[in-house]
Chain A
């Protein structure tokens, strides 16, 4: 079966520093994969390379077998490769509903339409309502993002990603910055992601990683260190060496 996302030999250097070296990764439909590693390991660089924000020095990226290495970030989104941002990037002046409407209209290619009335587009309201329901955002549908709680903003980020009907979803620290009281909602949302979606999650929070991931990939100094199940990774001495101290840090009681 062709992997949804296939990365081969991805490399990128800045000056003399290799931020990414020969990284290989495959994601199949239904995968729940977590990418972990100490600070500076190159996780964000990797995401930026895969999504097209950065151009690699070497390597190949394929989406459903198509070579997307030279395509712009925009084109990759249209082909089904979607990401969320580590720090919520939303349109502060727009309401939650408008965000989802825009994402769906964008997906359907209807944003060139000058005279259509958004309310009268068949099916749009229903789909928006469904997404709001799935992520528990229905009560704040009409609220402007500028006044939205941060936890709900992160939920909206995920809703936006889902609205684009992605084939591959990359979540960049979905729970980062969210107070513990609200992170429950995010965990629930992650549990309810479509079953055939290939998901790659970058995270520091080990609780979340062990709960969510059926496969964990460890990155250190731009290189793939090892990959495996949660148990295998937890037991691997190399991981402990590279990560010294941060497991205790992650397990510290809130």
Chain B
């Protein structure tokens, strides 16, 4: 099957699964909406981690900037949802470009620390600027206009969810396109061997900054989407934990495949929802053990395990067919 066909099939499967969830779980639309928006957020991390090899704990800064930009715009300026997404994306992208140009010279621990520092600083700025961000109380009162002027955001969350799902599917298609483009190919090269890319005449730094900016746009849109579909922006959207959770979800699902980001988000948030009623420390224990397990026994996450299982199944079928 050609890669383009596989991409389209993947997006179609996502849309179908999303619609199925809509009919199967009408009581849980709030959760499903958050899952969809978060999946886009984790997808943004996959672009920079899975396809460029940059280990970052700073994705929340990009998400949160988009969320706050959209939220503040919604409260004071304009409430059209598509415009708000655009504002979020631009905000996330600009922050990514500005910080990426500075910090992507570093590697390893230094880079990790720089991403953490940027996130913490953004958190502090949002915290202190109470007059516009609501500080630790968060930003509320976001009342978006009907989508495309037609679909009102109803109290049951139906519009919110379908809107979020649509944005996610489109986001996946765009990401797939980017990853298969010449730019995407060059970024994969940078992930494997930046010096080799330089020996081909390319600039690894430019590719890294470029992909980081793109991931910032995606993260910003995800933040704006969260703001629009839930009506609030909390200070923890700029928190270090939110960055770490994205990393956990991505690794759980399997980095470097795009669809792994979505699987990981669904799995993580579903389990969290089930265990959330219990002690938060039980949740920590579970996630901690799981993380250790994934690293030691299943480094590619769910996606890799699924791929291996499929390959083995295909192998059996081939041999069974040959024997027949």
Contacts and interface: CB of A to CB of B under 8 A. Distances in A.
Report whether chain A binds chain B.
yes
B201 interface: yes
A94 B185 CA distance: 9
Task: Please name the 10 residue pairs, one residue from A and one from B, whose CB atoms are nearest each other, closest first.
Answer: A77-B201, A91-B192, A111-B186, A105-B182, A78-B201, A111-B182, A106-B200, A74-B198, A113-B182, A89-B196
Contact of B185 (A92, A105, A107, A115): A105
Contacts of B210: 112
A104 B189 CA distance: 14
Nearest to A101: B185
Contacts of A103: 200
Most buried by A among B177, B181, B195, B198: B181
A118 B196 contact: no
Given A73-B198, A111-B202, A102 B185 contact: yes
Contact of A115 (B177, B195, B200, B201): B177
A82 B195 CA distance: 13
A124 to B, nearest CB: 9
Among A94, A105, A160, A164, max chain B CB count under 10 A is at: A105
B192 A92 contact: yes
Q: Which of A85, A89, A91, A101 has the most CB of B within 10 A?
A: A91
B178 interface: yes
A102 B200 contact: yes
Contact of B186 (A73, A77, A105, A115): A105
B interface, over-half SS? helix
A74 B189 contact: no
20 contacts: A74-B198, A78-B201, A83-B199, A89-B195, A91-B196, A93-B192, A94-B185, A102-B186, A106-B201, A106-B202, A112-B210, A113-B181, A114-B181, A115-B177, A115-B181, A116-B181, A116-B182, A118-B181, A160-B200, A164-B201
Given A114-B183, A114-B214, A102 B189 contact: yes
A198 B78 CA distance: 63
A13 to B, nearest CB: 24
Given A78-B201, A103-B200, A117-B180, A89 B193 contact: yes
A114 B178 contact: yes
B55 to A, nearest CB: 17
B187 to A, nearest CB: 9
Contacts of A118: 180-182, 185
B13 interface: no
Interface in A70-126: 73-74, 77-78, 82-83, 85, 89-94, 98, 101-103, 105-107, 110-119, 121
A93 B15 CA distance: 30
A153 to B, nearest CB: 12
B105 interface: no
Interface in B195-212: 195-196, 198-203, 207, 210
Nearest to B179: A114
Nearest to A81: B201
B188 interface: yes
A74 B180 contact: no
Contacts of B182: 101-102, 105, 110-113, 116, 118, 121
B183 A113 contact: yes
B4 interface: yes
Most chain A CB within a 10 A radius of its CB, from B184, B195, B200, B203? B200
Nearest to B4: A117
B181 A74 contact: no
Given A91-B192, A91-B193, A101-B185, 5 more contacts: A93-B192, A112-B182, A117-B181, A118-B181, A118-B185
Nearest to A93: B192
Contacts of A94: 185, 188-189, 192
Contacts of B214: 114
A77 B198 CA distance: 8
Contacts of B180: 117-118
Nearest to A83: B199
